[in-house]
Structure 1
């Protein structure tokens, strides 16, 4: 079952993009993304404790517009758990951030997690 979420952020797409790609900003969410931000490159979330919590590969990337990546199953590190897509849509100085995850095995848990994550992105981007 696919999850689709969106949130309107009172910040430009460039500022919202920075929440993902600038470790100084991202650390305010309790960790940082580890990647060189190129298609085909590894992508993962490292917590403040130094542990890698997620791993994947970037499929598509257009700065300030699109980020799509796989997430791998933590058990084996290479079986695809889901594909996540973020779209950053310019709304006259604000950003409509669209997030999709497909497929999702535990819909309820993942859906609630998305709500919290998007709210954190909104708060950080609007504070920049």
Structure 2
């Protein structure tokens, strides 16, 4: 049974501003990852590493679903470590002058044999940091 990670944050920005930050590779580089081959199109595969020069943790993802300004769903894999896949879904809901971002990372237990850096707790902490300490200040500046 899946035990998804669900992370929610409210950001003082419109859905459109957040969507652009999530889907424009120039903006992503400022707060998220440098993903030069990112294209917002279903079925497109994109590749990236953790920030820094170490080239640590090669990620590969495929865009699975797009609802502009509302939902972006993609796979999340580590091809160098595992054949298993997980799924990340970003959902945006306008609430007055704020937008609720709900991130759901499903099937994280598929990585349970990869060690503590791939645990439920590590991913929860990572997503909270990415959204709460990186995306939020980037958009609210």
Q: TM-score, normalization: structure 1?
A: 0.84
Query: Which structure is higher in helix share?
Result: 2
**Does the CA-based 8 Å contact 1:71-1:80 persist in structure 2?**
no
Structure 1 gap ranges (5+): none
Q: TM-score, normalization: structure 2?
A: 0.77
Over 3 Å counting, the alpha-carbon distance change for 1:64 and 1:45 in structure 2 is farther
How many equivalent residue pairs? 126
Cα deviation, residue 19, structure 1: 1.5
Query: Which structure is higher in strand share?
Result: 1
- Residue range with higher mean Cα deviation, 5-14 or 25-34: 25-34
- Residue range with higher mean Cα deviation, 101-110 or 40-49: 40-49
C-alpha RMSD of the superposition: 2.2
**2:71 corresponds to:** 66
Q: Secondary structure at the match of 2:40?
A: coil
Over 3 Å counting, the alpha-carbon distance change for 1:123 and 1:45 in structure 2 is farther
Cα deviation, residue 85, structure 1: 0.4
Higher-Rg member (1/2)? 2
Q: After the TM superposition, which residues 8-87 of structure 1 pair with which residues of structure 2 at under 5 Å, given as runs? A: 8-29=10-31, 31-33=33-35, 34-46=37-49, 47=51, 49=53, 51=55, 53-75=58-80, 79-87=83-91
